[in-house]
Amino acid sequence: MARDYYGLLGVGKNATDQELKRAYRKLARELHPDVNPDEAAQARFKEVSTAYEVLTDPEKRRIVDLGGDPLENGGGGAGFSGAGFGGLGDVFEAFFGGMSGQGGGGARKPRGRVQPGADSLIRTRLSLAECAVGVTKHLTVDTAILCDICHGAGTNGNSKPVRCETCDGAGEVQSVQRSFLGQVLTSRPCPTCRGAGETIPDPCHKCGGDGRVRARREIAAPIPAGVANGMRVRLAAQGEVGPGGGHAGDLYVEVVEQPHDTFVRDGDDLHCTVRVPMVDAALGTTVVVDTILDGPTELTINPGTQPGEVIQLRGHGMPRLRSGARGDLLAHLDIVVPTKLDGKQTDMLRKFKGSRDKDRAEVMSAQSEHNSGLFARLRASFSGR
Ligand SMILES: [Zn+2]
Ligand SMILES: [Zn+2]
């Protein structure tokens, strides 16, 4: 079966040479081994390069348009015959010629000594209350900072960097390798100057020429109210200073929320469990909950409260991040039956039972109204709430 050379480049059958070149350049920028070391990308780059090579050769393109495959018949089966190699100049011209900010002819500008710095990450433990009100955390961070002796220049005193002798200032060294395409010119960063194109013969004594040093420093990280476990607060330009004193990356402060003694958090809602003695559940009572933001708050237990009932205190949960809204506090009631009764209490309960002659233990219908609460809770627990 003939290969779909047009499909490989993503162009139509009547694509002009200009369109072929544009399509190839676009793909080469994604797939060229210098840009994309991924093996699958390299394999695709070869296919795409082959397609470009074939379609820009009028003779081969004619064979493709007739439904044939110019690389299947003849040419020794090795892909390109020696004669086909002439087109390789175009391949590289198309690729390198179109790279922004770079010269033609395969020569690239050195990337320079000054590089942007990396982002860094620090974790900080916050109590639930701190998450609720927001807090300014004083943290010790360990990052690269600008060298205060050379201010990023990397040089000692008034000395100057010099052009790298290994790469003659290009920042990269090139070698010719044999591959599917025939001979392929590959380039890699210069091992001497690591791509900078220049070296520092007399480096700064403090930073050794890197323009930056590692240091611990204190920062104040403002954590907004409403953050939750795993959230990251970004502090712009507080990360690592780059090589040569390059612009610092960002610092991310990740929140590690500590478990609370009373409350379990679910998004903006808080859950707690309130144990209610059986008699209080029957007669009704009040209980004080020390809420996370509103201080001691009274919770009314109505007479006849059943085990598992949930009392919702609207707006007493966590604040929503960057919003005035608040979640709810949900108090789950656990009705406690006394386990040890003295003789007098037993007598009283017997008397009470005597006055309630209709009360007796029985197996319920699954559909009964009294069971609906239980099953609603079971269903809710399956749905994860
Ligand atoms: Zn220095
Ligand atoms: Zn070099």
222-265: pLDDT as tens digits: 999 999 999 999 999 999 999 999 999 999 999 999 999 999 99
- And the tokens for 166? 């290994």
Position 85 scores a pLDDT of: 38
Crossing angle of helices 39-55 and 88-97, in 10° steps, is 120
DSSP string for 154-203: -BSTT---EE-TTTTTSSEEEEEEEETTEEEEEEEE-TTTTTSSEE-SSB
Q: ∠212-124-222 over CA atoms, to 5°?
A: 80
- d(CA 108, ligand 2 centre) in Å: 12
Q: Tell me how far the alpha carbon of residue 318 is from its chain's centroid.
A: 25
Average pLDDT, the chain: 85
The tens digit of pLDDT for each residue in 261-291 reads 999 999 999 999 999 999 999 999 999 999 9
- Centre of ligand 1 to C-alpha 127, Å, is 41
Q: How far is the CA of 113 from the centre of ligand 1 (A)?
A: 13
Question: Taken in order 181, 182, 183, 188, is the CA torsion positive or negative?
Answer: positive
DSSP element (H, E) containing 301: strand 295-301
Local mean pLDDT, 10-residue blocks, the chain (385 residues): 85 90 86 78 87 89 86 48 39 43 48 89 96 96 96 94 92 80 79 90 95 96 95 94 94 96 96 96 96 95 95 96 92 95 95 92 78 68 61
- The number of the ligand nearest the C-alpha atom of 198 reads 2
Give the span between the Cα atoms of 185 and 80, in whole angstroms.
16
CA of 156 to the centre of ligand 1 (A): 7
Please tell me the number of the ligand nearest to residue 212's CA.
1
For residue 89, report the distance from its CA to the centre of ligand 2, in Å.
25
Please tell me the distance between residue 188's alpha carbon and the centre of ligand 2 in angstroms: 10
Report CA(52)–ligand 1 centroid distance (Å).
49
pTM comes to 0.63
Q: Which residues are found with C-beta within 5 Å of the ion, ligand 1?
A: 147, 149-150, 204, 206-207
State the pLDDT at residue 183. 73
Torsion 367-368-372-378 (CA) sign:
negative
Distance of CA 164 to the CA centre of its chain: 38
CA 194 to centroid of ligand 1, rounded, Å: 18
Separation of CA 280 and ligand 2 centre (Å)? 83
Amino acid occupying residue 245: G
- If you measure from the C-alpha of residue 173 to the centroid of ligand 2, how many angstroms do you get, rounded to a whole number? 8
User: Which pLDDT score, from 0 to 100, does residue 372 have?
Assistant: 66
